[in-house]
Copies of this chain bind each other. A is one copy, B any other.
């Protein structure tokens, strides 16, 4: 099946916004064994949109159009779709009512220009958007089935997964089942991972298992995609490859499939009735922000303390002036974690202190991370130097702190060397 994607909007065409919606769509289709053959980006311009629709309609079996469904004058997708299909726009009463109720539930009056969002090409199939005012729709243009999706990423994602992928899978025919197994790791770079897993695909001799990676620093997602008659057959095929990935990655896998690092930590703490206090400096609340808002965290997350000044950190955790920790060291991190645990009455405390380089941001900009985890029983600590500029140091330190806590809770060593540190 020849699938094309058309991305619309001046923001994307002028490069003001990096087109992550496209990479999301393409990756998601790959996950289901479907491939995008051609992508076109055009601006909010009637002639370009029309031509893009016509050309894709000549080449493709299915086309996903992203963006241009908003209420404003520069949102032209419905109008141009109708023109390309040679039909009129008609009010979709069902969606109009859904929008009115959407605004009512928020105690807002629907502005008149939102009506435009319920005007669909005659004959189009409306596609529900449960979290926004832009409904999607499907329509034939040329020889292709077009699927129109909203530009707001979370609305696109939900519509793509719940509504469009299933339709594409039906269209693509009595196709085999596809299953995607995902491993999430921290500390192994993509090329290292690729080398580590050499030969894993070949464990399934019929060539139906495909290995892929997606690096979103600092995490790495490793994907095994398998095809087969049904899910039972696929699971059977995947089992040896899965085992091998787990064996070769070892302690570096922190979660699988839809689980997350913070979710694994929260579950581990919950299961032992533990409570957590977090002390941060340069990560400035990002560690707490990964855990404290999760459902169930209200029973686990005790307190987060953020400060840029070490003296303020010490005072906040109740360290006496007589015990100044001085510089950022693993001893200081341990003292602070212990004091934070005591002063907030938590069972566990994580302290992540960072000494960042002086001067302007640059690719060599680095930070020395000293972190410690304390419980009533013991304390562990780790030191690391993370490079790559201010943002990467911050992101890296957040992940290192969380992953060390995960390792501690799982009884694994916190000091295993990672690819992202300078030693």
Task: State the A residues within 8 Å of B (CB).
Answer: 10-11, 13-20, 22-28, 30, 35-45, 48, 52, 55, 70-74, 105-108, 111-114, 130-131, 152, 190-192, 194-195, 212-215, 217, 278, 280, 282-289, 291-293, 295, 297-298, 301-309, 312, 316, 344, 361, 363-364, 387-390, 394, 419, 422-423
Contact = CB atoms under 8 A, between A and B. Distances in A.
Contacts of A304: 284-285, 304-307
B289 A298 contact: no
Contacts of A112: 195
Contact of A191 (B45, B71, B131): B71
A293 B365 CA distance: 14
- Summarize A's interface: helix, strand, loop or mixed: mixed
Nearest to A308: B298
Most buried by B among A11, A27, A195, A307: A307
A380 to B, nearest CB: 23
A43 B24 CA distance: 16
Contacts of A73: 194
Nearest to A398: B289
A282 B289 CA distance: 9
A292 B297 contact: no
Contacts of A301: 284, 306-308
B15 A363 contact: no
Contact of A14 (B19, B27, B130, B215): B27
30 contacts: A13-B37, A14-B36, A15-B22, A15-B24, A15-B25, A16-B27, A17-B214, A18-B18, A37-B43, A37-B48, A38-B52, A39-B42, A40-B40, A44-B212, A72-B190, A74-B212, A105-B387, A106-B422, A114-B191, A130-B363, A152-B217, A285-B285, A285-B289, A285-B292, A292-B308, A293-B390, A293-B394, A303-B312, A306-B306, A312-B344
B308 A297 contact: yes
Contacts of A312: 302-303, 344
**Total copies of the chain:** 2
Contact of A30 (B15, B39, B152): B15
Given A13-B36, A72-B194, A112-B195, 13 more contacts: A13-B37, A14-B26, A15-B28, A16-B212, A38-B42, A39-B42, A283-B289, A284-B304, A292-B306, A293-B390, A297-B308, A304-B307, A316-B344
A307 B316 contact: no
A273 B264 CA distance: 42
A361 to B, nearest CB: 7
Contact of A39 (B10, B41, B302): B41
A289 B280 CA distance: 10
B15 A111 contact: no
- Which has the most chain B C-beta neighbours within 10 Å: A37, A44, A287? A37
A40 B37 contact: no
Contacts of A292: 284-285, 306, 308
A35 B42 CA distance: 12
Contacts of A288: 284-285, 306
Nearest to A364: B105
Contact of A11 (B16, B24, B113, B214): B214
A303 B305 contact: yes
A19 B303 CA distance: 37
A304 B284 CA distance: 8
Contact of A111 (B106, B195, B212, B295): B195
A361 B158 CA distance: 15
Contacts of A215: 152
A361 B295 contact: yes
Given A55-B55, A419-B108, A70 B214 contact: no
- Closest 3 pairs (CB-CB, A-B): A285-B285, A304-B306, A15-B26
